[in-house]
Amino acid sequence: MFPSAIADLWLSPHSTGERLCGSGTVTVTVDPGLPENARLTVLTTTDGRTYVLLTPAVGAAMGLTAGQHLDETAFRRGLAASGIALHGADHLFYFTDAARQALLVEADAVAVRRLTADDAAAFADFQSSASEQDLEDSYVELDHWAVYGAFEGGRLVCAGSAYPWEDAPVADFGVLTLPAFRGNRHGRHVVRALARHAIARGHEPQYRCQLDNHASVALAASAGLTAFGTWDVVSPGSPA
């Protein structure tokens, strides 16, 4: 359903790593090489399976033992008891194989084009028209790896940017449409143009948003993306 690169990215650590414990729906894998800011991550796929990746220190702090039967409820209870907090889950959206094929035979919308340094003035005006919260949530920058924008009446009204995500073969997306221009499919067109750009350069498009960002969830569906699951990571400053 999804490109093999997506399954490999998220599931291969659990097939090649050291399984600590779990159950029919929960897999806990230990990796002592995880970076400090990702010493505990939790992926829950849309088929109801939960994949936990953690360091031995985090496993010890939670009191986990080898071969222990651990379902979702017991895992969450152990987290709470240990005082380890999670940052807050993101939705993960990707193009399925079929949607990806349809995407690649489609041309960019007429009002959409790639932005460059020559668009600095238009981009500055765009940012000045957006709220600080919208700018922070979308994280769209003109100097990112790829930036596309949609214009209406000669004005930049929607912008999206992408950058390679860590060492993974995916490009992480952000997109922002000015409030007065929402509902005109600008976000959809920008996301799809960005996606074609990323795929042409060997990266799978990755769209993330917070669980309560309903407008962003709706945009993902409008752009043809499908939910893969949710992903959470240990909160900065959390013990263990």
Q: Domain limits of the chain?
A: 4-91, 96-224
Task: Give pLDDT, residue 166.
Answer: 84
Residue 94 to residue 199: CA distance in whole angstroms: 12
Task: Give pLDDT, residue 81.
Answer: 92
Task: Give pLDDT, residue 178.
Answer: 98
- 67-81: average pLDDT: 94
- 101-113: average pLDDT: 97
Task: Give pLDDT, residue 63.
Answer: 94
Considering the domain 96-224 in this protein, what is its CATH number? 3.40.630.30
What's the number of CA atoms in the CB half-sphere (13 Å) around residue 179?
8
115-147 pLDDT, tens digit per residue, is 999 999 999 999 999 999 999 999 999 999 999
The per-residue DSSP string of the chain comes to: ---HHHHHHHHHHHHHSEEEEE-SSEEEEE-TT--GGGSEEEEEETTS-EEEEE-HHHHHHTT--TT-B--HHHHHHHHHHHT--B---EEEEE--HHHHHHHHTSPPPTTEEE--GGGHHHHHHHHHTS-HHHHHHH---TTSSEEEEEEETTEEEEEEEEEE-TTSSEEEEEEEE-GGGTTSSHHHHHHHHHHHHHHHTT-EEEEEEETT-HHHHHHHHHTT-EEEEEEEEBPTT---
Asked whether the predicted pLDDT for residue 68 surpasses 80, the reply is yes
**pTM: predicted TM-score of the whole model, two decimal places:** 0.95
180-201 pLDDT, tens digit per residue, is 999 999 999 999 999 999 999 9
